[in-house]
Structure 1
Amino acid sequence: MSEMFCFQCQQTAGNKGCVKVGVCGKQPSTALLQDDLVYELIRLSEAVRENGSTELSDRLVMDGLFVTLTNVNFDNESIENYINKVIRERKNIGGNKQFDVVELWKGETDIVSLRSTLLFGMKGMAAYAHHSLALGYKDKEVSNWFYKGLCEINTEHTIEEWLALIMEFGKINLKCMAMLDTANTESYGDPIPTRVNTDIKKGPFIVVSGHDLHDLEMLLEQTKGKGINIYTHGEMLPAHGYPELKKYKHLAGNFGTAWQSQQKEFENIPAPVLFTTNCLMPTRSSYEDRIYTTSVVGFEGLIHIEADENGRKDFTPLIEQALELGGYENDRSMSGINGGHILTTGFGHNTVLANAEKIVAAVKSGAIKHFFLVGGCDGAHPGRSYYTEFVKQTPMDTIVLTLACGKFRFNDLDLGEIDGLPRIMDMGQCNDAYSAIKVALALADAFECTVNELPLTLVLTWYEQKAVCILLTLLSLGIKNMYLGPTMPAFLSETVVKVLVNTYGLQPITAPEQDLDAILGRK
């Protein structure tokens, strides 16, 4: 067996690459199969370029890329099944020609870096397109770009051509994020500010992790009236802000903190857990018999809930196990990282912009001096304590907007209010990054300036490929002087980093005090 190579996530070994086993727990055989799946998706895309696409090929490309995203699928049999489906569909559409495929991780350093950047960005966009399609929303331009991007990955380009392609991708991803925002809000209403309890009530319950709102809705509907409480976990927290999901009274609260704490927090949990997308870690014996996967998620030995031909899923196994396990005998107190028991979410673009006049007035009066968007992925890297300390040290006349799971570092803090506006506003999942972009563009319009002239600084934390596609979209919009951490991506070569620093002012984080001094012009 060939040696694995993977450097797509922030915690890759030595910030260089995993070559023996993935830091995420991925085995070499799994990593190689995921590479094989990407190669087959490239061949499918080459065939589509010659013969045209189908609805099935569209789904296979987005789902296939999603399967290879960090912490999604560790099941070799499942990945092999995807590979076989892709090969069958390629032959079905007339792609019997065997296309030569570039070796992804070999070649001149800067070219490998740029090729990887585009590929990883596309993996992130695949997640957004997948969630949109689950709710019946699809955009042909977005679908077609997956084929284009995979074909371009298989083509030689100059550094300038690669950079142009990456910026083009960033703009397409903005369109994909806007589609997902429309899918979520038209399906479940515009999020509204909601206080979510982290304590767990006695009695049967089910925990739902990941990002898929449609899966959560189906589970809520099937557990209605059965005496089972449903708790969100990790990135599913923002679901509490959607009116059409809030109407389910047994959507009771949020279980635990960030995704990387699950092996500790799920220890002997007396309830089943459903993983709907990424954020799955290798399970432990104390709870592996109560972990379920669905959709593109996979792990050997776990029960997988398949959808029928109409997309419906039968969650009876979880429901029966929840009733059998019975939950906790007494109410259980659980707190956030900083000891808080209440999390507030639901500050989507509709809510924030409804307060635009108040926000503009507060800025003009000096009540609000600066905005920080502190968001992105969480992880186990010790440098991530930076984000907790950064938020704690933000001045009282500043607002912190946040989204994605990085917020679990500080979202249980009470930083007070400014003119009735909470100083921390949770805008949702990483899937909701479009909300932050829409708010920034609207504020720039209100102040008749560019986004880069706003009193706004983006302080981003990255872990996996959805963070990569968001960063590329922000760069494609010309947004400058962003701070990125806890480390720069291992897949960015020195030359590429230098280009991003020189062109966009992209800054690696240093220390909270030092970065705040630089941002606010303090001496």
Structure 2
Amino acid sequence: MFCYQCEQTAGGHGCTKMGVCGKQPETSDLQDLLIYLSKAISMYAWRAAELGFRKEEIDRYVVEALFTTVTNVNFDSERIVNFIKKGYNILAEARALYEKAASDQGRQPHKIEVIDSWNPPQTYEEMLAESQGIGIAARLSQLGDDVTGLQELITYGLKGMAAYADHAAILGISDPEVYKFIHEALNFLTADEGRDADALTAMALKVGEVNLRVMEMLDEANTGTYGHPEPTVVRVTPKKGKAILVSGHDLKDLAILLEQTKDKGINIYTHGEMLPCLAYPELKKYPHLAGNYGGAWQDQKKEFDEFPGAILMTTNCIQKPAETYKARIFTTGLVAWPGVTHIADKDFTPVIEAALAEEGFTEDAPEKTITIGFGRNAVMSVAPTVIDAVKAGKIRHFFLVGGCDGAKSGRNYYTEFAQKVPDDCVILTLACGKYRFNKLEFGDIGGIPRLLDIGQCNDAYSAIKIAGALAEAFDCGVNDLPLSIILSWYEQKAVCILLTLLHLGIKNMKLGPTLPAFVSPAVLNVLVENFNIAPIKTADEDLAEILG
């Protein structure tokens, strides 16, 4: 195996024996094969789309395949093998679709030798053997660090985009042009131009451009289904009673569970990236949605072990379950772990039964709360007050401090940074990186909270819209605003958001805790020269540089 798609990759270079995330080498190799298969499918699907033909099943398969390989999603080799075998049928469908599209238009279909002559491996052993010649290590040897790194930058951006597109599709929002682009980009990576550094850089920014549309789709899906998030005081300590903890990112899974647990005497708690769900009107209307328990994903082993109920993982961020809670943790959707009960049909009866069988919380903990729900709708509604405060000199600067959290050392920087932000400045935050400081007290500026929790990584669209509205109000560009972006990254959704920010021309961002292993020095120089993107230093140094 060779994997360097996440921030915590071994030695800052790449995992070669076992994933730091817990991924077995065989699972990593199977995921490489799944990505290769997705590219093969897209080579036909893109050509068919160019001729006006598409098939929903083909589009959805590729999106799910990409999402399946995001860090901390699917660790179950058997499920991946079955998904690959399904993909062989999808590949045949994509080929037939393209040939029909060409025939209907009186054209001779382009022969794709590398795929037409490919004999897809059928057995587990054959799949593992096949993966050795198509993985990242093989391309590093053939193409070098720069080209391979740029190819992976695009691939990881597409993986993040696929995650957002999948969430939107589950709620009924999709765009054929987005699927067409995903096929186009995967096909591009197989072509000669996919070995040219300039062309690769341009395609990476195109990924960012299309991902902006995907984030808009997800925003439309979430707010159209569950209402716009609204400022909400949320309990972060447990209440007496039976309990289910929901982690991941899928709002619909939570909604289904809330409906299935009505009047059953079970309190539902959010965990990790599910925290923002407590601010959606159509979710928080359930009285048994009791609050948030715990923090970010990397603390789950301790927190899940101590949680006296059942646990449901809805998407990525699962870690290897300890034996102490393995029997009461469940997965659904694309997330999976070997030996953990997977619920494919959304009948969460096993989760409910497991919760009822556990002791639950025996007493109320002392009540503690935080305030969340400052999405774009909420912030825009008070925009005149915010703008007046800036013009009056009451608010000096805005800091967007957010992104992924993780277990690797160096992330205490974000806690220290937030604590040292001057009292006349406002902090915007989103994604699970906020758990580094979201339970601290920051006070307010003339009634405006100094800490505004915009939501999860899925809500990055809100942050972009807020920045755009402020720029319009002050009649300037976003880069001219008193706004600085301090990002923490861990996995591929953070990569595609970064590409979107670069597409928008956002400059002077600071990124940490370490730079991606797949970004070579030459590629980093391009980012520095064009966007002045820089690694974080110390909180004091970065604040001094920003505030002068």
- TM surpasses 0.5: yes
Matched, 1:147 2:171: no
- 2: CA distance, partners of 1:153 / 1:332: 53
Kindly indicate whether the alpha-carbon contact (under 8 Å) linking 1:220 and 1:248 is maintained by their aligned counterparts in 2: yes
Look up the match of 1:476: 503
The CA deviation string for residues 180-229 of structure 1, in whole angstroms up to 9 with x for no partner, is 00110010111001111111112111000001000000000000111100
Gap runs ≥5 in structure 1: 308-312, 335-340
Look up the match of 1:209: 247
Matched, 1:61 2:58: no
Identity %: 53
Matching residue's letter, 2:514: T
- 2: CA distance, partners of 1:65 / 1:422: 38
Secondary structure at the aligned position of 1:39 is classed as helix
Matching residue's letter, 1:202: K
The CA deviation string for residues 336-372 of structure 1, in whole angstroms up to 9 with x for no partner, is xxxxx32221000001111110111000000000000
TM-score norm. by structure 2 comes to 0.91
Bigger drift between 123-132 and 266-275 goes to: 266-275
Look up the match of 1:269: 307
The CA deviation string for residues 93-145 of structure 1, in whole angstroms up to 9 with x for no partner, is 33682469965441221100100000000000011001001100001111111
Bigger drift between 30-39 and 101-110 goes to: 101-110
Look up the match of 2:94: 93
Look up the match of 1:418: 445
TM superposition shift of 1:258: 1.0
Kindly indicate whether the alpha-carbon contact (under 8 Å) linking 1:43 and 1:99 is maintained by their aligned counterparts in 2: no
Look up the match of 1:511: 538
- 1: CA distance, partners of 2:134 / 2:297: 34
Look up the match of 1:227: 265
- 2: CA distance, partners of 1:392 / 1:458: 16
Secondary structure at the aligned position of 1:94 is classed as helix
Matched, 1:357 2:384: yes
Correspondence 1:385-396 to 2 at 5 A: 385-396=412-423
The CA deviation string for residues 442-461 of structure 1, in whole angstroms up to 9 with x for no partner, is 10000000000000000000
Larger Rg: 2
- 2: CA distance, partners of 1:258 / 1:383: 15
Matching residue's letter, 2:255: E
Kindly indicate whether the alpha-carbon contact (under 8 Å) linking 1:190 and 1:243 is maintained by their aligned counterparts in 2: yes
Secondary structure at the aligned position of 2:410 is classed as helix
The CA deviation string for residues 396-438 of structure 1, in whole angstroms up to 9 with x for no partner, is 0000000000000000011100111110000001000000000
- 2: CA distance, partners of 1:53 / 1:434: 28
TM superposition shift of 1:512: 0.1
Look up the match of 1:113: 149
- 2: CA distance, partners of 1:480 / 1:326: 52
Kindly indicate whether the alpha-carbon contact (under 8 Å) linking 1:38 and 1:65 is maintained by their aligned counterparts in 2: yes
Bigger drift between 511-520 and 298-307 goes to: 298-307
Bigger drift between 341-350 and 31-40 goes to: 341-350
- 2: CA distance, partners of 1:215 / 1:156: 42
TM superposition shift of 1:275: 0.4
Matching residue's letter, 2:378: T
- 2: CA distance, partners of 1:520 / 1:50: 51
Matched, 1:28 2:28: no
TM superposition shift of 1:53: 3.0
Matching residue's letter, 1:253: G
TM superposition shift of 1:320: 1.1
TM superposition shift of 1:279: 0.7
Kindly indicate whether the alpha-carbon contact (under 8 Å) linking 2:29 and 2:135 is maintained by their aligned counterparts in 1: no
The number of equivalent residue pairs is 507
Kindly indicate whether the alpha-carbon contact (under 8 Å) linking 1:501 and 1:507 is maintained by their aligned counterparts in 2: yes
Matched, 1:5 2:2: yes
Matching residue's letter, 1:381: K
- 1: CA distance, partners of 2:117 / 2:322: 42
Matched, 1:188 2:188: no
Task: Tell me how large the CA RMSD over aligned residues is.
Answer: 1.3
Kindly indicate whether the alpha-carbon contact (under 8 Å) linking 1:102 and 1:154 is maintained by their aligned counterparts in 2: no
Kindly indicate whether the alpha-carbon contact (under 8 Å) linking 1:5 and 1:17 is maintained by their aligned counterparts in 2: yes
Kindly indicate whether the alpha-carbon contact (under 8 Å) linking 2:308 and 2:361 is maintained by their aligned counterparts in 1: yes
TM superposition shift of 1:268: 4.7
The CA deviation string for residues 311-358 of structure 1, in whole angstroms up to 9 with x for no partner, is xx1111111111111312222459xxxxxx322210000011111101
The CA deviation string for residues 69-109 of structure 1, in whole angstroms up to 9 with x for no partner, is 00001000111111111111111233682469965441221
Look up the match of 1:127: 163
Kindly indicate whether the alpha-carbon contact (under 8 Å) linking 1:46 and 1:99 is maintained by their aligned counterparts in 2: no
Correspondence 1:70-469 to 2 at 5 A: 70-94=71-95, 97-98=116-117, 103-105=135-137, 106=139, 107-157=143-193, 158-307=196-345, 313-332=346-365, 341-469=368-496
Decide whether aligned partners of structure 1 residues 333 and 66 sit closer, same or farther in structure 2, where only a CA change above 3 A counts. farther
- 1: CA distance, partners of 2:12 / 2:279: 37
